[in-house]
Amino acid sequence: MKHRLQFFAFLTLTVMLFATSCQKNETLSGPLPKVHIIATGGTIAGASTDIGYDAGKVSIETILQAVPELKQYAELDYEQFCNIGSQDMNDSIWLSLAKRVNQVLESGKYDAILITHGTDVMEETAFFLNLTIHDPKPVILVGAMRPADAEDADGPYNLLTAVKAIVRPEAVGREVMCCLGGKIYEAGAAFKNDTHSIDALSATSVDWYLPHNANTGFYTDNLEELPEVGIVYCYGSNSTVALEAFINAGYKGIVLAGVGDGNLNQETLDLAAQAVKNGVMIVRSSRIPFGGVYTEGGEVDDEKLGFIASGSLSPQKSRILLMLALTVTQDIDTIRSYFQNGVYR
Ligand code: GLU
């Protein structure tokens, strides 16, 4: 446990130092770095309506016109990849996006990639890309909590913060990053913790760190789809209806967002253990954002029941890791090692 806390302290510190160094406004010498922008939508591309706003409406061209200062730091070009609220992100778009990012980086023409993105599932996209992109050049996702046409829009400031960060040498070889509220978080730790604040992202405790050029072994560019993995949310008195539905639908893996330390009521535990016997991979995670779920020291005998403890990954990130793991192996010990030790080989 001590080791985990130390690692969290180290990670938080490096992120803070990195973010602080980005505020210094240092001038870069030589030709400007080349940054390719891939726009996917989100509130940063939102337009106001009578009741609030619609995400994913404003083009990247218009968004960039509002931040002319960006040109001082990088030579930019852009593409409108899609224009959606990130609640509509899905496995298929993630596969296409990872393929596109790999293509752009392999072209050798760019020093970094910036992706505009909604904050609702930003941490999931960042985590997916972190496991499927294989070039060390910086990749950052940038969001906003106020629409592009708001008088106090936060998108321009976040874009400027992100561009200033990714053109710095220390941005190379890190995890995929997320930028919001003028701060930068890395994919493994980032999570949305507030439905409205402009500072809606923060970092949870993580006990492994995986720069996106690490050899994950997850090569998805030729995949059309991912194995189906669902998440079951647990609560006081939860029934097994949702778990049964995933099992009956033939899902290959199920993540249980358990209570507390990944605990499950008896009915859920028994059905999940039965599902394991029928070949379904079960990850035991927690609805609590801090602390993680581990096989040692808890109330559930993962070894005996055939469950995989999620370690520090949230249910939504566990789902992504399990989907990718199932593209390369069915071996439970190998999958356990991904969750416990990261996916270095
Ligand atoms: N639904 C929006 C999205 O994720 C809202 C949050 C945001 O962009 O900040 O795209």
Pick the residue with more confidence: 141 or 211?
141
For residue 29, name the pLDDT band (cuts at 50, 70, 90): low
- Report the residue among 43, 82, 122, 159 best suited for mutation to probe ligand 1: largest number of ligand atoms under 8 A from its CB: 43
| Cβ contacts of 301 within 8 Å, gap of 6 or more | none
Rounded to the nearest angstrom, the distance between the alpha carbon of 2 and the centre of ligand 1 is 36
Task: Provide the 3-class DSSP secondary structure of residue 55.
Answer: coil
Catalogue the active-site residues.
43
Distance 54 CA to ligand 1 centre (A): 9
- Beta-bridged to residue 112, according to DSSP, are 35
- What does pTM read for this prediction? 0.92
Q: How far is the CA of 302 from the centre of ligand 1 (A)?
A: 36
For ligand 1, atom 3, the nearest C-alpha belongs to 118
Beta strand pairing call for 229-233 and 201-203: unpaired
**Residue 343 binned pLDDT confidence (cut-offs 50, 70, 90):** low
Instruction: Tell whether the model's pLDDT for residue 19 goes beyond 70.
Output: no
| Rounded average pLDDT over 73-82 | 98
Checking if the pLDDT of 203 tops 90, the result is: yes
pLDDT of 16 strictly over 70: no
**C-alpha angle with apex 40: 38 to 42, nearest 5 degrees?**
135
pLDDT confidence of 129, banded at 50, 70, 90? very high
Pocket of ligand 1 (CB under 6 A): 42-43, 55, 85-87, 118-120, 143-145
- Can you give the pLDDT at residue 91? 98
Pocket test for ligand 1, best of 119, 123, 142, 192 (most atoms within 8 A of CB): 119
E-assigned strand segments in the chain:
34-41, 47-48, 53-54, 75-84, 112-116, 139-142, 177-180, 183-186, 190-192, 201-203, 229-233, 253-258, 281-286, 307-309
- The model's pLDDT over 308-335, given as tens digits with 9 standing for 90+, comes to 999 999 999 999 999 999 999 999 999 9
> What is the position in ligand 1's atom list of the atom closest to the CA of 56?
10
- For 98-120, how does the pLDDT look when each residue is reduced to its tens digit (9 = 90+)? 999 999 999 999 999 999 999 99
pLDDT beyond 90 at 13: no
Mean pLDDT within 119-145: 97
For residues 292 and 209, the model is more confident at 292
Q: Quick one: which atom of ligand 1 is closest to the CA of 180?
A: 9
pLDDT at 144: 97
Please tell me the distance from the alpha carbon of residue 155 to that of residue 135, in angstroms, as a whole number.
27
Q: Report the pLDDT value the prediction gives residue 5, as an integer from 0 to 100.
A: 37
Phi-psi region of 285 (alpha: psi -120 to 50; beta: other; left: phi over 0): beta
Ligand 1 atom showing the smallest separation from residue 121 Cα: 4
pLDDT confidence band for 215 (50 / 70 / 90): confident
* Atom 1 of ligand 1, residue of closest alpha carbon: 85
Q: What is the 3-state secondary structure (H, E, C) of 221-270?
A: CCCCCCCCEEEEECCCCCCCHHHHHHHHCCCCEEEEEEECCCECCHHHHH
Ligand 1, residues 53, 87, 154, 159: which to mutate, most atoms within 8 A of Cβ? 87
> What does pLDDT average to over the chain?
91
3-state secondary structure of 164: helix
Q: Which atom of ligand 1 is nearest to the CA of 200?
A: 9
